[in-house]
Amino acid sequence: MHTRTVIEQLGYSPHEAAVYLAALELGGSTATEIAEKAKMPRTTVNLIIRQLHKKGLMNAYLKRRRKIWTAENPERLLAALKERETALKVILPELQSLRRETGVRPTVRIYNGIEEIRQILGDILDTKHHISAIVSWDSWVEALGRSHVENFEETRHRHFLRVRLLTPRTKLSVALKQKDGSELRDTQFLPASVAIGNANFIYGNKAAIMSLNARRPVGIVIEDEDIHAAMEAFFESLWRESERPQ
């Protein structure tokens, strides 16, 4: 790698690197001589020499009433680098405290088949948060089995977990609605224009989406505050548009 490029990578400007190398090669010399060697205007070189002097890379002495500039030993470059590293280590804890946390990366778990999807019910209960759900109740009962659904509902009620349920209006869901008061549930019916055949649960900081396709049932649980908030906003929008039973 070119010497000048390495010096620039240490935090010095291209002009500073050029002037330092010119002074280093010339030994003791005037600013005019350094400018000629670096092929730069004398006024510019004077300014850069002062900058390098402040950084400890050049020094001057008088010789026959002329100011002679000399470049410091190249080891000074390494010493300056170590000084900056030491200074950075001193303030590093403060910088870390100012760092804005971006949060935990989303966690995604996939469940294949009805047996694994049933595990999601356990996670919903274990999280111990109230639930918002958009579910095709008929498809839900058919896919998971009535006994598993009823057991989930009973356990949820025992744990005092309330659920707001959005579901298509069917004979089965209307019958379910009649038990809302005793089962900590508030059921509303989706608009007829909203067709849904899957199940979506929003709880804690998680969102569970379950396809109830008989051929290939699959469930996905995403643990992420932003995704949870987006799903909750979607639910609230549908809740406002839903049909309130008479």
Read off the pLDDT band of 218 (50, 70, 90): very high
C-alpha span between 116 and 194 (Å, rounded): 28
pLDDT score of 101: 56
Query: In 10 A of CB 17, how many CB atoms?
Result: 22
CB 131 within 8 A of CB 164: yes
Residues 6+ apart with CB under 8 A from 61: 28, 67, 68, 70
- What is the Cα–Cα distance from 3 to 39, expressed in whole angstroms? 17
| Structure token pair of residue 141 | 């009962």
The amino acid sitting at 197 is G
pTM: 0.57
Residue type, position 193, single letter: S
Tokens of 209: 């989406």
Mean confidence (pLDDT) of the chain: 87
Please determine, for residue 103, whether its predicted confidence score (pLDDT) is greater than 80: no
Q: Which two tokens stand for residue 35?
A: 């400018």
pLDDT in tens, 222-238: 999 889 999 999 999 98
State the Cα–Cα distance between residues 60 and 113, nearest whole angstrom.
81
Identify the pLDDT of residue 246. 43
Choose among 207, 201, 199: nearest CA to 225.
Answer: 207
Q: Could you read off the pLDDT of 138-196 as tens digits, one per residue?
A: 999 999 899 999 999 999 999 999 999 999 999 999 999 999 999 999 999 998 888 88
Report, as an integer, the average pLDDT of 97-115: 77
What domains are defined for the chain?
Answer: 3-80 (1.10.10.10), 107-241 (3.30.870.10)
